[in-house]
Amino acid sequence: MAIIGVKLDGDTIVSGGADGEIHVWESGDGSRRCWMRGHTGEVHAIELRGNRLVSASADTTVKVCKTSMPTRSS
């Protein structure tokens, strides 16, 4: 996975890549909380606010979803 963007928010790291996938990681131990597909193009931007994740892609779509685990800033 080529990482295009990384967002750190409290205990959570979010990465988006050229494959269109987004991964949510636990910063303390490096474990992956979840991963998401939905974009057919490279992820260009990611934003994490509380448990809401917004991503934008080269496929000209914006996706909004809720992560299952809230972060410190929620």
Q: What CATH number is attached to the domain comprising 25?
A: 2.40.10.480
Degrees, nearest 5: CA angle 10-30-46: 55
> Is the pLDDT assigned to residue 69 strictly greater than 60?
no
The residue with tokens 């931007």 is 45
> What pairs with residue 17 in β-bridges?
3
Range of the domain at 49: 3-66
For position 71, what pLDDT does the model report? 47
Count of the separate structural domains present in the chain: 1
Asked if residue 73 belongs to a domain, the reply is no
- Residue 72, in any domain of the structure: no
What is the model's pLDDT at position 20?
92
Q: Is residue 74 part of a domain?
A: no
pLDDT of the residue at 63 = 92
Phi, psi torsion values for 30, nearest 5 degrees: 80, 5
User: Is 34 within a domain?
Assistant: yes
Is there a domain that residue 7 lies in? yes
Give the tens place of pLDDT for each residue, 2-56: 555 566 667 778 888 889 999 888 888 989 888 888 899 999 888 887 778 899 9
pTM above 0.85, yes or no: no
